[in-house]
Amino acid sequence: MEYRTERDSMGEVKVPTDRLWGAQTQRSLENFRIGVGLEGMPDEIIRAFGILKKAAALANRQLRPDAMSDEKLCAISAACDEVISGALADHFPLVVWQTGSGTQTNMNVNEVIANRANRLVGKALLHPNDDVNMSQSSNDTFPTAMHIAAVMVMLDRLLPALRALIATLRRLEEENADVIKCGRTHLQDATPIRFSQEISGWRASLERDAELLQASVKPLCELALGGTAVGTGLNAPDGFDTLVAEKISQLTGKPFITAENKFHALTSRDGIVFAHGAIKAAACDMMKIANDIRWLASGPRNGLAEITIPENEPGSSIMPGKVNPTQCEAVTMVAVQVMGNDTAISVAASQGNFELNVFMPVTAYNFLQSARLLADAALSFDKNCVSGIRANRVKMKKNLDKSLMTVTALNPHIGYENAARVAKKAYAESISIKEACLSLGLMTEERFNEVFRPEDMV
Give dist(CA 174, CA 440) in Å, integer.
41
pTM above 0.85, yes or no: yes
Q: What pLDDT was estimated at residue 147?
A: 98
Q: Which alpha helices (DSSP H) does 319-392 contain, by range?
A: 326-349, 360-384
Report cis status (omega within 30 of 0) of the bond before 128: no
264: annotated active-site residue: no
For range 203-230, the mean pLDDT: 98
In terms of phi and psi (left: phi > 0; alpha: psi -120 to 50; beta: otherwise), the region of 35 is left
Tens-digit pLDDT profile for residues 334-367: 999 999 999 999 999 999 899 999 999 999 999 9
Candidates 69, 316, 350, 439; catalytic one = 316
CA neighbours closer than 13 Å in the CB half-sphere of residue 22:
26
Q: Is the pLDDT of residue 27 over 90?
A: yes
Q: 102-159 pLDDT, tens per residue?
A: 999 999 999 999 999 999 999 999 999 999 999 999 999 999 999 999 999 999 999 9
93 closest CA partner among 104, 101, 79: 104
pLDDT band at residue 37, thresholds of 50, 70 and 90?
confident
Band the pLDDT of 383: cuts 50, 70, 90.
very high
pLDDT value at position 455? 86
For 416, list phi and psi in degrees, rounded to 5: -60, -45
Q: pLDDT at residue 286 above 90?
A: yes
Tell me, what's the pLDDT at 325?
97
Spatial distance between the Cα atoms of 48 and 399, rounded to a whole number of angstroms: 54
DSSP 147-211: HHHHHHHIIIIIHHHHHHHHHHHHHHHHHTTT-EEEEEETTEEEEEEEHHHHHHHHHHHHHHHHH
Rounded Cα distance, 66 and 198, in Å: 66
pLDDT, average across residues 273-286: 98
Beta bridge partners of residue 231, listed in sequence order: none
Q: What is the pLDDT of residues 149-202, one digit of tens each?
A: 999 999 999 999 999 999 999 999 999 999 999 999 999 999 999 999 999 999
> Can you tell me the distance from the alpha carbon of 242 to that of 123, in angstroms, rounded to the nearest whole number?
32
Residue of 232, 68, 48 whose CA lies nearest to 139: 232
Q: Which of 69, 85, 127, 186 is catalytic?
A: 186
Beta bridge partners of 258: 223
Q: Which residues contact 181 (CB under 8 A, 6 or more apart)?
A: 192, 193, 194, 195, 198, 306, 391, 396, 397, 399, 400
Confidence of residue 18 (pLDDT cuts 50, 70, 90): very high
- Note the pLDDT of residue 38: 86
| pLDDT at residue 454 is higher than 90 | no
**Mind listing the pLDDT tens digit for each residue in 291-335?**
999 999 999 999 999 999 999 999 999 999 999 999 999 999 999
Nearest of 330, 339, 335 to residue 309 by alpha carbon: 330
77 touches 50 (CB < 8 A): no
What confidence tier does 97 reach under pLDDT thresholds 50, 70, 90? very high
For residues 126 and 130, what is the distance between their CA atoms, to the nearest angstrom? 8
Catalytic residue check, 317:
no
Contact status, residue 334 vs residue 374, Cβ threshold 8 Å: yes
How does residue 36 score in pLDDT terms, banded at 50, 70 and 90?
Answer: confident
